[in-house]
Amino acid sequence: MFTVIRNKFVFLLTLFMFINTANAANRILIPASPSVAAKSFILLDFNSGKVLAEKNADVKLAPASLTKIMTVYVIFRELKSGHLTLDEKVTISKKAWRTPGSRMFVEVNKKVAVEDLLKGVIIQSGNDASVALAEHVAGDEATFAALMNQHAERLGMQSTSFENSMGLPSKSHFTTARDLAKLTVALIKEFPDYYKWDSQKEFTFNKITQPNRNKLLWRDKSVDGVKTGYTEEAGYCMVASAKREQMRLISVVMGTSSANARANESQTLLNYGFRFFETHRLYKGHEAVNDVKVWKGEGKKLPVGLVDDLYVTIPRKHYSDLKAEINIDKKVVAPITKGDNLGLVNVSLAGEVIINQPLVALESVEEGGIMQRLYDEAMLLLE
C-alpha cells in the first residue's frame, strides 16, 4: 500500500515538474532595454509603431539640426503637390548666406536648383540651404516655421514648436524624441523615392565635398538615414533608421556627449531591437479577411477587412504563439456603406491581447427590394 501511494506521489510530482518546465519553456523572456547615455531616447518599429525602448521620450528638448527633418518633409510635400519642382531655381538671399553654423557654401544672388539645396540640407546639414528653401517656399522663414508647425500638428506632434528651419537655439523651438520618431515614420512612408538621399555618404557643391555626419552609414549597411544634430544646448543628437530583411526600426537619441556617443548609442538601440524582436504583417489592408451575411440587402454576401495593413512586433521565435480571433457582427442589415465598422480582429500572444483593429465593409450594399426586406425580416424573427 505504501509503495502504491509513494508511486502516485512520485507520478504527481513528476507531472507537476513537467508542467512547470513546459510553462517555463514557453515563457516569453526579453531583457530590459539597454542603458543609453542620452537625455532622451526612443526605439520603435516603423510598421507596427510598437515602442521597444524609451526614456524621457516626451521631455521637450532643443532638437538642433534634427529640425531639418521637418524642413525637408515640408519641401517634399510641396514637390508632391506640384507647387515646387526639383529643377526650379532658388535665388540665394543675403540672410541665407549669412546664416551661422554648418553650411553648404551657397553664394549671395546665385541661383541654385531645389534638388541641390535639398541635398545640401540632408547630406551636408547646410543651415544656409535650409533658409534659402524656407524663403523660396514661404517668402520668409517665420512664415515657413508656421507651415512647419501646421504639419507638426497634423502629424500629431503634440509637444513640438518650431521657430526656424535649421534648428538654431530659441526658447520656443523644441520637440521630443517621440515626436521626431512620428515625423520620421511619416517622411519615409510618404516619400520613399526622396528618402534615398538620406543614405548618400557625401555631396559636392561649389567644388566643396562634405561627408554625411551620420557615422552609422559607414558602420552598418542596414542603416539608411536619417539626420544628426548638434548645438551646445542640445548636445549631440541623432535620428537613425535601419532595415534588416523586412523589419525597419527608428531610433532617436537626444543629448549625448559627442558625435561618437550619439552613433554608438543609436547602434546599441538598433541592435537591441533587431536582436530580440521581429515584425510580421498579419493582414493586408483592403483585402477580404472574411465574408459576412447581409440581411435586407441587394447582395447576400459582403467582404470585410482592415483599412490598413496590420503589423505586429513580437519577441523573436514566438510567431507560432500568435493567435488571431475574428469577431463579426451576427446581424448585418443593409444599407451598408463602404468603411462601416462590422467587427473586430483581436491578436493575442501567449493569451494576452496585444492589438485589436476594426473590421470594415470593403463594399457598399444597397437596401434590397420590398419583397427581399419582408422575407429577411421574417427570417430574422426565426434567428
What phi, psi does 123 have (nearest 5°)? -90, -45
* pLDDT recorded at residue 9: 38
Domain spans, the chain: 40-277, 284-382
Higher-scoring residue by pLDDT: 380, 245? 245
At 367 the pLDDT is: 79
Annotated catalytic, 65?
Answer: yes
Quick check: is 172 catalytic?
A: no
pLDDT band at 371 (very low <50, low <70, confident <90, very high): confident
CATH number belonging to domain 284-382: 2.60.410.10
68 is catalytic: yes
Read off the C-alpha cell for 87: 529643377
pLDDT at 124: 97
Report residue 155's pLDDT band, with 50, 70 and 90 as the boundaries. very high
What's the pTM value of the predicted model, to 2 decimals? Answer: 0.89
**Cα–Cα distance between 332 and 302 in angstroms, integer?**
9
pLDDT: which is higher, 239 or 20: 239
Q: Which pLDDT score, from 0 to 100, does residue 332 have? A: 84
Distance of alpha carbon 256 from alpha carbon 265, whole angstroms:
8
pLDDT at 365: 86
Q: What is the mean pLDDT of residues 156-184?
A: 97
312 near 48, Cβ under 8 Å?
Answer: yes
In the structure, what pLDDT confidence band is assigned to residue 379 with cuts at 50, 70 and 90?
low
Number of H helices, E strands in the chain: 11, 17
Residues 6 or more apart whose CB falls under 8 angstroms from that of 310 comprise 281, 282, 283, 285, 345, 347, 355, 357
Could you tell me the pLDDT band of residue 296, with boundaries at 50, 70 and 90?
Answer: confident
Q: Are 247 and 274 in contact (CB under 8 A)?
A: yes
Q: Of 68, 119, 182, 215, which one is the catalytic site residue?
A: 68
Of the residues 93, 125, 241, 266, only one is catalytic, namely: 125
Please check whether the domain covering 40-277 is classified as CATH 3.30.300.30: no
Average pLDDT, the chain: 90
- Of 33, 40, 65, 130, which one is the catalytic site residue? 65
pLDDT tens, position by position, 245-257? 999 999 999 999 9
The burial of 118, by beta-carbon neighbours within 10 Å (0-12 exposed, 13-18 middle, 19 or more buried), is given as buried
